[in-house]
């Protein structure tokens, strides 16, 4: 064992007196604590990152759903039909209801009318693992029609440690979907 200098001993005493946990680490010569921390640190931080990403995805999904419901009221009450809104104008109305988390340029809108609630079939724009925006429709319907409003947004996610990855479309993207189904009011 090598001899330590008096200055080093004084520093160890000060650390041990002020911060007992650090003092134990300073006294520990075997390195077991460092090895144990290294074994636990990677899964711990991977879990923390996964929890943070999942929370952000849920928050963004809720924001998109709220914007979809609010913009869907324009169709349900006949305001969109009376103003002859286009798909781009309706998309802008969805964007107006979104806070700062989502970029308007990334929001896609699908609006379809159906004759019965049992016949409602949601659009799946994912083909071969990639998002296809060419499949979007815009049919606001008339009074009494059943309408499905869907909004889509590709939320970027970081690849996680230890294979914890939330991506489900494209490369490192998670597809957020907002949906509203309703019967149009009998507007005039």
Mean pLDDT by 10 residues, the chain (188 residues): 65 65 61 82 86 92 96 96 95 91 94 96 94 95 96 89 76 93 93
Q: State the DSSP string of 69-137.
A: HHHHHHHHTTHHHHTT--HHHHHHHHHHT--TTS-GGGEEEEEEEESSGGG------EETTEE-GGG--
| Global pTM value | 0.77
Has residue 72 been placed in a domain? yes
Instruction: State the pLDDT at residue 43.
Output: 85
Has residue 150 been placed in a domain? yes
Instruction: State the pLDDT at residue 11.
Output: 67
Instruction: State the pLDDT at residue 6.
Output: 73
Has residue 98 been placed in a domain? yes
110 phi and psi, to 5 degrees? -125, 125
CA-nearest of 86, 127, 126 to 109 is 86
Q: Give the range of the structural domain holding residue 106, as residue numbers without chain letter.
A: 56-183
Has residue 13 been placed in a domain? no
Looking at the structure of the chain, the number of domains it has is 1
Instruction: State the pLDDT at residue 83.
Output: 95
Has residue 61 been placed in a domain? yes
């Amino acid at each position: 064992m090598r001899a330590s200098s008096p200055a080093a001993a004084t520093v160890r005493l000060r650390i041990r007196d002020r911060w007992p946990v650090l003092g134990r680490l300073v006294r520990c010569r075997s390195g077991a604590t460092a090895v144990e921390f290294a074994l636990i640190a990677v899964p711990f931080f991977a879990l923390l990152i996964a929890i943070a990403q999942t929370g952000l995805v849920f928050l963004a999904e809720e924001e998109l759903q709220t914007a979809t419901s609010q913009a869907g009221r324009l169709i349900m009450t006949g305001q969109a039909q009376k103003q002859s809104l286009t798909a781009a104008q309706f998309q802008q109305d969805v964007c107006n209801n979104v806070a700062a988390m989502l970029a308007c340029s990334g929001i896609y809108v699908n609006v379809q009318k159906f004759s019965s609630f049992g016949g409602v079939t949601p659009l799946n724009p994912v083909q071969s693992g990639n998002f296809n925006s060419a499949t979007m429709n815009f049919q606001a319907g008339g009074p009494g029609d059943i309408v499905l409003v869907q909004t889509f947004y590709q939320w970027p996610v970081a690849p996680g440690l230890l294979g914890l990855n939330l991506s489900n479309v494209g490369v490192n993207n998670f597809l957020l979907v907002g949906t509203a189904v309703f019967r149009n009011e009998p507007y005039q």
